[in-house]
Each structure stands twice: as structure tokens, then as C-alpha cells.
Structure 1
Amino acid sequence: MSHDSNNTIWQVFNLINLAVIVYDNKTHNYILNQHAKTLLNINSDDAFSSDVFNNITLRDFNDDTVVTVEQLFTSTITAVLLECEFTPQLLNVNHSIIDDSVSMITLEQDHSHAEQYNFDHIISKISTKLIDIQNDNINQQINFALKAIGTVCKADRSYLFEFNTDSETLTNTHEWVNTGITAYKDRLQNVPKAELPYFFDVMNLTHLFKVNDVAQLPPEANSEKAEFEAQSIQSVLCVGLRFDKELVGFIGCDCVNTKRHWSKIDLIRIKLVGEIINNALKNINYKKKLQLAQEQLINANTKLNKLANTDALTDIANRRFFDTSLKSEIKRSARQHQPISLIMCDIDFFKRYNDNYGHHKGDETLKHVARALKSLCKREGDIAARYGGEEFAIILPATNIEQCHKFALLIEQKIKALNITHEFSPIAPYITLSFGCFCSYPNADTHTETLIKSADIALYKAKKAGRNQICIFE
């Protein structure tokens, strides 16, 4: 083919209102007419290699596999999707042979199927995002869905209404409006159902409210007509959302600038989007209920655990929790080759206190002593427990005998600072304690009874020596 003939043909290609790509298999170069350059966002004026198509993604419309521009010249693909920022463009592909070395394809936008494909693509995206939706981004995804249905139905406004907990009022929870259209979401909060009787009669009966021309509403819809006209609505389409067969809200579209004769396709599309949103809201509701049930179960278990491990009177650890904790701390100390100390202490002459001041006063004193002991147990693992009656025990992990003795002195000072009168005590005019301390470097064979018995022996010595003192097991 002559150079002049090529120029003439190419001038004709540039006049064609189609994207034309020509490939020369001798030079391995591609030439694009202006429509092709615009479509594929290519600015070069010269012939070029396949590298220029590296940033272009095409998919076979039939099986969604990625294909290259080069493959279009050697395959029988008849339609491809050109991926764009928002929605893919559907292109019909036509092949032609110019001569032995030159071939050509044209890419023509398929407007007849593009709108449906784009809607299907958007619905797929909405559905995917709303399947396992989390509460923190549900609003964003519903707004996207409303924009999609509003756009594809050529509406000026789309919205979601949900019934409040009283089931007698409803709220516009989400709204999309087209450019230049007034938003009414803020105004449509807690709207009484009784203000729109005709709307809800129809909605409860058919779960659909379709009006092509608001002016043609029947006389019994005067309340609805007045509200629609106040919002400049000319056409309205709403689909009910149900939960367990009960109407819980609705999704809708309005046309303000022009009337719209709502088609079956419009109805199918809005029902589909409504169902997707409704299912997402159900999932959120189920998740909230499940989360609430889990929280209640955790709280109940926490309370039961506390009841099981806490002394009812003094609100510190009970004997059961003390036994379990001491066993656990002995094992941990053995693993880490650390000491563990135990203090056993008794309120001196507490029977005389109870006999003279009464059991109510005695209970109050036990509470004060318990709080004092607990306030000094600040490290993780330090445990103050009521061992029984007026006797208390303190577990001190990673504590040697000198540190244990200092801790007992702190308790002694704390109890003295309480200054609880005990005029029937022969050793002091206030409540005092006797202490028995024991420290051990446990091994795998060490038992809790060993520590308890040793600390108890030291406590017995403190009492025998006159009380209100600290004795260490030697």
C-alpha cells in the first residue's frame, strides 16, 4: 500500500466517530486515531509500541479476565470493559484486516448495555460492602447506595426513613440530593406517622408508594400532597423495608425538576437496593443484640466470679480465692526462682471487742481493717484475704523476709492510724494486730500447707509473747 494511500486512509479513520487502533506486525507499531487517544487517555502523536498501553486495564466482558490491547488483534473477543475511576466502560470490539501486515480494531461504546452493566457493577460493589458491614461505616455505605439508586433512576433526591422505637414516628436517617436540590433530612426528624395517613395505608397494604405525578393524587391524600408540594416534589417512588413481616421504614426517590414515569426497571432497582440496605441494617441489629448479650454474659460472669472469690462482709479476697492464688504464686515463684512471703495476722482480743461493742460494731471494724490491708497491696500478685473470723492473710510474691517484715510494720502503722477504740484490750486503748511472717524459696514440691503452717506458727508465737507484735518463723 502506498504512502499516499496510507495518509488518505488515515485521514478517513480520524473522521470516523469510533476509536480506531491500527497495528503493523512488521514494525510492531500501533497508531491511534484521535477518538482512541481520548478514550485511552494517550497523548502521543507518533506510532508507538505496546508499552504505551501498560497503564490501561481491559477485561473480557464474557469471563472478566484481564486482556491486553495486543491480544485484541489475535483473539475473537467482541466486547471488553475499560476500567475507569468510577464505573467501567463497555466497549464493542470489531476486527478488520487491511493488508498482509496491517490490521485494525475499532472500539465502540455500547450504550445499550452500558447503563445496565454499570448499575450491576455498582450493585455488586454495594452488596459486597454491606454484606459484613460494621457499625462504624454503615452510614457511608448507605449514602453511597442512595447516591447510586438516585443517579440510575434519574431522581433529584433519594433517602432512607426508619421508624423510631415508639413505632409511631419515623426519621429521615440518610439522604442524597443532586446538585442544586434542597435537602430536607434535618427537617424530617421524628415525623408522626399520623401526619401521612394515606401514604402509610398504601405502604402497609402494598409496601410500595409510586406516584408519577403528585398533582394527580386522590383527595384522601391531601396531607401527602401538601407535604410533597412543600418540598417541590413532582414524582415520588418509595419501597417499604420489613423486618419479621413488620414495616420498619422505607427507601425512596423524588423528582423535583421534572415529572418521571417510574418504569418497571426503576422499581426493580430500588427494591434491590432497599433489600440490600434492609439486610445490612438487620445484620447490624443482630450484631448489636449479640454484642449486648455477650456484654451481659461477661458482666454476669464477672459478678459471679467476684461473688465466688470475695468475702461478702469485707469485700476483699475470701479463703477460696486465697487458697487458689497461693498455690498459683508458689508455682510461679518456683519457676522464676523467686521468694514468696506470707503474713498471717489476727485482731487482738476481738472476742472482747464483739462482746462489749456488739457484732455490728465488730463487723464495721473488720471492714476497716480489711480496707487498710487491701490499700497496701499495690503490686500485681499482692493479695489481702480474710482467712476466717478476725484472721487475715497477705500473699507477697517476690518478697524476701526483710521486705516482708517491713510490710508488716506498714500494716501495723496503718492500723494504728485508724485509731479504732478498744478500751477492753489489755495491751492498747485501740485496735491492734498480731503478725506471723514466713518467707520461702519454693520448688516444685512446695505445698501451700507448708507456708500457711509456718506463718501460723509465727503468729502463735506473737500471741504467746503478748500480742501486738510481729514474729518471724525461723
Structure 2
Amino acid sequence: MVHDSKTRNYKANESALNLFNLKQHSDLNENHFGHIKLTSPLSKKTLLLQNLFDVYLIPNVQNKVVLEVDQTAFLLNIKFANITETVSMITFEIEKQKVDEQYNFDVVISNISADLIDIQNDDVDKHINYALKAIGTVCHADRSYLFKFNDANTQMSNTHEWVNKGIMPFKDSLQNVPKSELPYFFKLMNDTYLFKVNDVADLPASAGGEKKEFELQKIKSVMCIGLSYEKELVGFIGCDCVAVKREWTNLDLIRIKLVGEILTNAFKNINYKQKLELTQQQLITANQQLSELVNTDGLTNIANRRCFDQTIDDEIQRCVRYQQPISLLICDIDFFKKYNDSYGHQKGDEALKQVAETLQNLCKRPGDLAARYGGEEFALILPCTNTDNAYCFSILIQKEIAKLGIEHKYSEVSDMLTLSIGFYSLIPNTKTIAEDIIAKADAALYNAKETGRNKISESPPR
């Protein structure tokens, strides 16, 4: 066959026309090749005849390709040569008339097996369907399928199915079928992992349920192989003949067993990967929970001092990079010792929880942090917050605490529980350290308490 890349036309001699079942034309084009299927025997890739002239062949090197024309297959030796800059030629030599199906089956199954070794979950269905098509075709069956059992091992579902042209599929109707409906089938399957019937009409009277189901699906011959995992039957694969009966051969049995072993190993591999992924996810979750545990105050369920120390360093560095201000507020519950002594520690703990929750709810931006700083003290880190905004935030805190309405008759400044707040704001630089910011905010808090409590104090004072 000769191809002119300039005109995109082809010419073929009589032998090539006969081989490809083409009618004589003065100029052939790509539209004449629609019925021709070429397959690489190694990669399983389907090729177009015109592609042979473009990308597939190395000049002057003999290659092999499987040709399928009108359901007849040939193994071809092909050789490509450039004649001119635009004209090239391919010669075809039939190596085997009607390619040996065992060779094709071995190649296909070998490739499927290799693919399934490192299969990803998203690709499993595709490769299972490849395997079912291969076993169905080579066993001259009309239908091949995979069934899996539910976790309770009481029902079976048809998860994958291949059907020959013109054969009715039954996959959708064979879901969650009780195994108890096929006792004869499962007795043999449990005992021998094999169910082989050359003629459904010959089934014994004890197989009435099976015979009825097979006749409903117009099955004349059936063969199934059990799949096991950890010594337990978990499913089966099988082939049906609908058009004509088939005397199943030992070679058929060997082939379907081979496919069954490949799928079983694939499922084991997938199950192992899923367990590994689950274990990894559980480990990640456990580490996250541990991290939350070591960074969370046990009583108030907000950040603890450890988390505060880590966060303030990180936020200082972030504000340095972006030249943004940062503010630190330290709050102290006024006369909390008297509250504990008068109302009891249980009431004191409840008050701490309510204050902590209020502060946490006010920290709505990414980077904001409310932490229990120690005893009745709380600290709030507010990145990207200047002095004026920090002062307004402090006023908001006192208003929200007042809304709680926590009675404190033993306070010297109010009948309700109150907070004193000290804060410090700055635009940090590379020399800024957390200890200096904490010291200045703490000094401001001291000033708020010394000047009467239930106050807001800034460092340095306004």
C-alpha cells in the first residue's frame, strides 16, 4: 500500500485490497478504512490504518500488528519505507491466518495482570471489564461476569458484565440477590469453587431454582469459578452461552481460573492499599487529635499557653514580612479569687468557660487567637490590628462579658463579673521578640488593675 501525504490518498494492490476487504478504487482515502481494526499485540492500543504512515512505524524495521476485518483476525508483519518526501509505502505479510487465540489471550491477560499489579481504584472497573471480555471471547461465550457478596455474605450482586453483540445484559437486574435462592449452585461453589454445566436442561430436580433463573436469562451452558479471600468465598466469575450450547473444555477451565486468580490478587492488592490508606488516615487523625489535645486548655477548650507561645512567634514573623501591625491583649477576671471562695470552684470553672467561649467567638478572622494564659488570665493575639482597633476590640470584649450577666456580689467594682484589659500594639521588625510584646501588654494590664479594675489600659498609655 502506498500513501501520498500531500494528497492524503492511498493506493493498494489487489492483495492488499483483498486483505482489507476493500473495493477497487483509483484513489482510496481515510473514509474507506472505517471497518478495519488494527491492534498492537503488546500495548493493546487500537490503531487506525492511516496512522501506520504517521506515527507507528520505524522506517525499514519490521513490526507486528493484529488486523481484524469482519470478525476475522490476522497477525501481520509490516514494514514501512519512505519513497520520496511525500510518498511512503507499507508492505503487509500475513504471518498467521486467523491468529492463534491462545497467543492473543496470553498477551491480553499478561498485560491486564501487569496493569492490575499497581492499579489505582479509579481504573479497576476498566481492567476488570477487559479481563471479562478476554475470557468471554476466548471461551466463545455470550456473556461473562463478576459477582461479589455483601459483607454479611447473604446476598450477591453482579458488579461487572461483558456481553457479546446482540445478547441481552442482566447486570442491572442482578443486584442484592439472596444467595438462598440458589442453594444447589452455592453447595457446589462452596465445596469445589466450581459450577460447570454444559446443558442447563440436564440439571437435576434439586436445582430447580437455578434452572428457572438460567432459563429466564436464556442460558444454555454456564461455567463459574469461585473467588476467595482469606480462605472465604467472596464472589465468583463466570461465562454463559446463550446462542448455542458449549461443551466446556479443560482449556476453558484453565483460562477462567487464571482470570479468577488475577482478579483475586487484584482485589487483595486493592484491599491492602485501602487498609494502608485507612491506617494512614487514622494516624493523621490521631496526630491531629494529639496536636489539638496538647494545644487546648482542658477546662475551657480554647488554646492553652503552649499554643499561645507558638502562635505569637508565627504571627510576629508574618506581620514582619507584610509590614502589618499586631496587637496583644491580656485580660484578667476582676476579683476572681473572691468569686471562687464565695461561689465555689465549680461555679468558678463555669465562669471561666463562659468567658473563654465569649472571647473565642470574638476571634473571627484567620490568625486571631484567644488563649487561656493562666488561671483567670486570657490573652488574645490580633494580627493586622493597630492601636485604635485594639482599643475598640477591648471595649467590645467588656460589653460582651457584661451581656453574660454573671453575678459577682463580692466584686469591689460591680455586681457582675468584669474584666481588666491591657494591650500593646506595634508594627514589628526583625528584632521584635514575643517576650517584649508580652511584657508591655502585661504592664498595661497591671496598670488597669492598679487604677481601679474593670478598665482598659494601653502600653504606653494614651
SS of residue paired to 2:171: coil
Displacement of 1:275 after TM fit?
A: 2.3
Residues 327 and 356 of structure 1: is their aligned pair in 2 closer, same or farther, counting only changes over 3 Å? Answer: same
Which residue of the partner structure matches residue 471 of structure 1?
457
Please show how residues 253-264 of structure 1 align to structure 2 within 5 Å: 253-264=239-250
Q: Which residue of 2 aligns with 1:434?
A: 420
Contact 2:74 2:94 in 1 (8 A): no
Q: 1:418 aligns with which of 395, 400, 404?
A: 404
Letter in 2 for 1:90: L
Q: Secondary structure at the match of 1:110?
A: strand
Partner residue in 2 for 1:90: 75
Q: Distance in 2 between matches of 1:178 and 1:348?
A: 84
Counterparts of residues 153-192 of structure 1 (less than 5 Å):
153-192=139-178
Separation of aligned partners in 1, 2:13 and 2:445:
102
Provide the residue aligned with 1:36 in structure 2.
16
Q: Does 1:354 align with 2:334?
A: no
Alignment of 1:216-365 (within 5 A): 216-218=202-204, 220-365=206-351
- 2:189–2:226 contact (8 Å) kept in structure 1: yes
Letter in 1 for 2:136: G
Q: Which residue of 1 aligns with 2:65?
A: 81
* Contact 2:75–2:98 (8 Å) recurs in 1: no
Residues 61 and 180 (structure 1 numbering): CA distance in 2 closer, same or farther, change over 3 Å?
A: closer
* Range moving further from structure 2, 287-296 or 187-196: 187-196
2:41–2:66: 8 Å Cα contact kept in structure 1?
no
Residue 466 of structure 1 aligns to a residue whose secondary structure is coil
**Residues 58 and 67, structure 1, Cα contact 8 Å, conserved in 2:** no
Q: Deviations over 1:309-336 (max 9, x none)?
A: 1111111101111112122223333444
CA distance in 1, matches of 2:168, 2:228: 28
Aligned-pair CA distance for 1:44: 7.9
Partner of 2:48: none
Please give the alpha-carbon distance, in whole angstroms, between the structure 2 residues aligned to 1:183 and 1:76. Answer: 44
Letter in 1 for 2:445: L
**Per-residue deviation, residues 225-249 of structure 1 (Å, max 9, x unmatched):** 3443343322111111122332221
Q: 1:404 aligns with which of 359, 374, 390?
A: 390
Distance 1:181 1:35 in 2: 35
How big is the shift at 1:438? 1.3
> Offset of 1:293 from its aligned partner?
1.6
Is the deviation greater in 354-363 or in 245-254?
354-363
Query: Where does residue 85 of structure 2 map in the other structure?
Result: none
Contact 1:58–1:80 under 8 Å retained in 2: no
Q: TM-score, normalised by structure 1?
A: 0.78
Which one of the candidate residues 360, 365, 383 is aligned to 1:374? 360
Distance (Å, rounded) in 2 between the aligned partners of 1:87 and 1:404: 83
Structure 2 unaligned segments of length 5 or more: list them: 4-9, 45-50, 80-88
CA contact (8 A) 1:92 1:110 kept: no
CA distance in 2 between partners of 1:259 and 1:235 (Å): 5
Could you tell me how far apart the structure 2 residues matched to 1:372 and 1:153 are?
Answer: 73
Deviation at 1:39, TM superposition (A): 4.6
| Alignment RMSD (CA, Å) | 3.9
Contact kept? 1:213, 1:235, Cα under 8 Å: yes
Q: Answer with 1 or 2: which has the greater Rg.
A: 1
Shift of 1:22: 9.6
What is the distance in 1 between the residues matched to 2:38 and 2:167? 37
**How big is the shift at 1:459?**
0.7
How many Å separate the matches in 1 of 2:322 and 2:334? 37
TM-score (norm 2): 0.80
On the 8 A contact 1:87/1:121 being kept in 2, the answer is no
Partner of 1:208 in structure 2? 194
Counterpart selection for 1:460 from 431, 439, 446? 446
Q: Give the percent of matched residue pairs that are identical in Structure 1 and Structure 2.
A: 55
Cα deviation per residue 1:89-128 (whole Å; 9 max; x = unaligned)?
A: 413689xxxxxxxx99664473442533443444345335
Where 2:234 maps in the other structure, the secondary structure is strand
Tell me the SS of whatever aligns to 1:113.
Answer: coil
Letter aligned with residue 227 of structure 2? L
Which deviates more, 141-150 or 294-303? 141-150
8 Å CA contact 1:57–1:67 kept in 2: the answer is: no
1:456–1:249 Cα change, 3 Å: same
Q: Which amino acid aligns with 1:333?
A: C
Structure 1 residue 38: Cα displacement: 6.2
Count of paired positions = 431
Structure 1 unaligned residues grouped into runs of 5+: 1-20, 24-29, 95-102
Describe the shift of the 1:61–1:167 C-alpha distance in structure 2 as closer, same or farther (beyond 3 A): closer
Q: Which moved further from structure 2: 378-387 or 417-426?
A: 417-426
Q: How far 1:339 sits from its partner (Å)?
A: 3.0
